[in-house]
Structure 1
């Protein structure tokens, strides 16, 4: 069985170092909360809102030990009016025996408004 693990965070500016650092922080939080091992990850999709253009956030995964071979794709978030700006989202597809209710999603910084029902689980 594989499950989706969601996460989101925000940055203050369109800056390469901040985007990579914030993405890495989010990934590490998702890993820690769920005990994720890279060899159990099927794939990872990372999206960013349209004003973030300084770098590919997938670079952050390459800085985490063991994540070199995890398939990653970066995509542009749909530009919905009044949506959260400067937002980075991660969707991991993970092989696990955990049920959907046992998965702990991570919403950091201003992204905690996206899913307040899951942010503090």
Structure 2
């Protein structure tokens, strides 16, 4: 088994704790579904938000998912690059898996589809 990275991103309409919680939860559930992830195979998760978001920790949404309370989570702030996509939440799941890199499915939801249209799923 190797450690692989599975990525995803989404956006929120406004900087509220409810928006951040719901968008993060939706994103995590989609990445888990697309990759059939067993939480016991997850080594850690890095969550970032753009500088215009500060109402809540996205890790709180991940911890609300069944079985995820024991997974090491880290929140960080994205670099404030001029012109970058606003109100964006990104995840990087470090996963123990036998899958090849090209077998992993990354999820880009909402306006975040424009970050990686080549990887976006409908």
Query: Under TM normalisation by the shorter chain, which class is it?
Result: over 0.9
User: What is aligned with 2:83?
Assistant: 82
Structure 1 residue runs of 4 or more that deviate by more than 3 Å after TM superposition: none
User: What is aligned with 1:97?
Assistant: 98
Distance 2:121 2:106 in 1: 9
User: What is aligned with 2:57?
Assistant: 56
Gaps of 5+ in 2: none
User: What is aligned with 1:23?
Assistant: 24
TM-score calculated relative to the size of structure 1: 0.98
Gaps of 5+ in 1: none
Q: What SS does the corresponding residue of 1:46 show, helix, strand or coil? A: strand
TM-score calculated relative to the size of structure 2: 0.97
Distance 1:87 1:27 in 2: 14
Number of aligned residues: 121
Distance 1:120 1:101 in 2: 14
